[in-house]
């Protein structure tokens, strides 16, 4: 639901659903992959809102989980999202670094 609201431009609802998913992943089902996906969704929503610091923070957390559980697909998604966030921030050197890691 959060991703749907994000695509519709309703970022407040996207954040609300992603936060609910994060709580469920951490406290109820204890699923690190879903936790990482929820963190990534939060990062995307905050980037779309222009809050790049929060976006980067959430994407870094998502990346850490992806690496911890050795999920290469989620790692790539997080790296690409970090590159996009740094690009939006205007830090093109970091954006290129993350995009190169994503390509690798």
Q: Give the pTM.
A: 0.93
CB-count exposure of residue 59 (10 Å: 0-12, 13-18, 19+):
buried
Homologous superfamily assigned to 2-103:
Tetratricopeptide repeat domain (1.25.40.10)
Domain ranges in the chain?
2-103
**pLDDT at residue 13 tops 90:** yes
Rounded CA-CA distance 69/77 in Å is 14
1: confidence class by pLDDT, cuts 50, 70, 90: confident
3: confidence class by pLDDT, cuts 50, 70, 90: confident
pLDDT of residue 2: 87
Mean pLDDT of 48-64: 97
pLDDT of residue 68: 97
pLDDT of residue 99: 95
């Amino acid at each position: 639901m959060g991703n749907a609201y994000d695509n519709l431009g309703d970022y407040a609802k996207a954040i609300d659903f992603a936060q609910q998913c994060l709580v469920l992943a951490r406290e109820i089902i204890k699923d690190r992959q879903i936790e990482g996906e929820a963190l990534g969704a939060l990062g995307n929503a905050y980037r779309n809102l222009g809050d790049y610091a929060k976006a980067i923070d959430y994407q870094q957390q998502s990346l850490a989980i992806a690496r911890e559980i050795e999920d290469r697909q989620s790692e790539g998604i997080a790296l690409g999202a970090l590159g996009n966030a740094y690009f939006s921030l205007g830090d093109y050197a970091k954006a290129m670094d993350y995009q190169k890691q994503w390509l690798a």
